[in-house]
Amino acid sequence: MSIAASPTAIWSASTCSLRLRVSWDTSPSPILTNPNVNRPPKLVRIPKSSPVKQTKTQINPHLRKEDLPASVLWNSDRTNGGGELNKKWFPIPPKVNKPRSIYNAVSLAYLGDCIYELYARRHFLFPPLSIDVYNERVMSIVRCEAQDLLLKKLLVENYLTEEERDILRWGKNIGSNKTRTRKRAGVAVYSRASSLETLIGFLYLTNTNRLENLMYKLGFSMGTNTTKIPVENSG
């Protein structure tokens, strides 16, 4: 014998079920109702930084060649007009506004002798040579006789400024204990060579672009050692 459920019982059961579902579904989150509950940290997406590209300094194509240092001109020719700006290859000089008020001519000649020989050694560096040939070629143009001839070239071509000529006169009168060298070359030749070294030391401290141009004028370069310096085969 089956017992049929009354409509009232069915409605009551459905209402209870509905109430339970509604109460469960609409139960607020404890995070929203309780401010003391720690919220989970938000994930922050950090964008990847693009790598910094190192760009090469390019020569301004609108500049005239005569307005650029000699080292830049050589580098531009070497790269067929690609024109990567040449960086200074020698040690950065100290900042000295008036070297003559601080140093005497002997000190500047001592410094200039080193700078001059550095140019000479660099000039013959490429292509590679045996150490004997390399040393022979370098020594041929660091001798005071060769320096004297190079200085005469600058004077004959009227390349030097009045200030630079004054530096030469100042450096001409310095003394030295290199007795053997002075006897071999003569006092006049040795004095003129010393004055050139004084000028090179002075320009190294005051105007490296002018120094580069001056040495380039004398034939020194960063090219191959087939580039001839007028006195490299002298005596």
Structure tokens at 19: 């109430």
Extract the tokens encoding 21. 């579902």
- How many other C-beta atoms lie within 10 A of the C-beta of residue 105? 24
Catalytic residue from among 25, 67, 77, 113 = 113
Look up 113 and say whether it is catalytic.
yes
Max CA distance (Å), the chain: 147
77 with 161: CB under 8 angstroms?
no
58: helix, strand or coil = strand
**DSSP tag of 24:** H
CA dist., res. 225 & res. 121, Å (int): 10
**Annotated active-site positions, please?**
113
